[in-house]
Structure 1
Amino acid sequence: MKLEGRRAIVTGGGRGIGRAYVERLLAEGASVAILDLDIDNAEKTATELSDRGTVIAIKTDVADEDSVGAAVEEVAERLGGIDIVVNNAALFGDWKPEDDTFPYLKRMMDVNLLSVWLVTRAAAPHLVKSPYGRVINQSSGTAYNYTYNGPTDEFTGLRSFSYSWTKWGVNGLTKYSAAQLGNWGVTVNAIAPGPTHTEAFSKSVDPAHAQRLVEAQPIKGAIQPEDLAGAVVFFASDDARFITGQILVISGGRHMPA
């Protein structure tokens, strides 16, 4: 097992991609804390996975500074420290792409981007003390989708592109965090998944469009949460100790950024 004895945080780990990360980290020997606003689901997940290793659930609003600070300190106390942070939580399953209002854009930014900074900042004092400090951020292939597919006959105002550019912001934050924390041996990388078939994805994308997305991939097939989990283990392991500030796109070749 590559992560024996290491202590990990996974935000939004109660379901979907986050749960797949939790399962794989446990399989590799890590203890895992699920930080999730939906505490009922997080506790259910923790109970279901309890026979695989140490897993706890803590109610956390990742967009709230006080909530994040309290949760991270609780993790450090209960697990004896923090070695790995996976910033997975985001607004997606209930994302409203047609809502271009400024308040909604701010909410998307708070949850999808600023939360990554809040959790990393809170965990950093523990990570720099660890010989295995790792941060893995969840970006998205949508950060590279620059084509506008909406109506063009009448201009109705600038779209917010809220989900896409908050994920592009995650890419930038990953690099800046890596530049600083690398001085203490902490690596910071990101995973940018393509269309991944989760419950949230099925709520946001109609089946016909989902099939078109699959067909647009050079490597055909529906990406599953488990297809992303190996990358988390790699970035968290000693195999990646000299890899930092990188964005790994897992999209079947749909996105190939330079």
Structure 2
Amino acid sequence: MELEILLSLQQQGRLFITPKRVRLLKEIHREGSISKGAKAAGISYKSAWDAVKDMNELALQPLVTSETGGKGGGGARLTAYGTRILKMYGLLAQIERMAVDALQDDAASLDSLLSVVSRFGLQTSARNQFFANVQALNPDDLSQQVCLTLKGGATVWADITERSCRRLGLFEGKEVLALIKAPWVTIESESEACLPGNRLPGVVREVIFGEQFNEVILTLDQGGDICALRPVHEPVPAPREHAVACFSPDQVILATLEN
């Protein structure tokens, strides 16, 4: 099933921006003329002129400026505001696409915009990404010890600066994305004692051997996987062994959407 969202914006109870008008604005920008833009968009010159007049009247400032040129309609160009309207509509179209993809993907969470954006629109170099909620904020000099509850129920601590905490607008209950790069994770056996920090127990699902590094993938008891990238000289547990993923609070990167 192919779904498409047709986004329209209203101003003062009247249609302001529609997909057809967006196409017209694009063609006017490309052709430099309302008449040529109308022809390229597949609409009459009168309809195009009426649409431009309507948008200019409804907007805070004109989207299109034109010069009289007789029967042909003269030259026309988008204003800086009109160009921003097109760019804004393009961003909204990307969000629409992510929403449609999320709807048709049974594995995608629709609990929050952050989860949708992270799955379909956010690419990072960090292999390990976990959705979490802020459980507590504990100030420590110029930093904040942020206690996080992962979606599976486990607790993770992140150590970030006070300034970063304010910039992210963190508060108890806020959803965040916790990122941990694979080289920052160590995998220890259950009998070994991890250094003070975060501990996530699980079972080794796979070990991929390389020339300089070995990749260890641990299926966590709380659900989900965590990946560790370790130098070849370090011992690694075998598949199906119980182990613990360890990483420091200051190696947890937090990301969130602005309120």
Quick check: TM above 0.5? Answer: no
Query: Which gives a bigger RCO, structure 1 or 2 (Cα 8 Å, sep 6+)?
Result: 1
Query: What is the TM-score with the length of structure 2 in the denominator?
Result: 0.21
**Greater share of residues in helix:** 1
**Greater share of residues in strand:** 2
Larger-Rg structure = 2
Query: What is the TM-score with the length of structure 1 in the denominator?
Result: 0.21
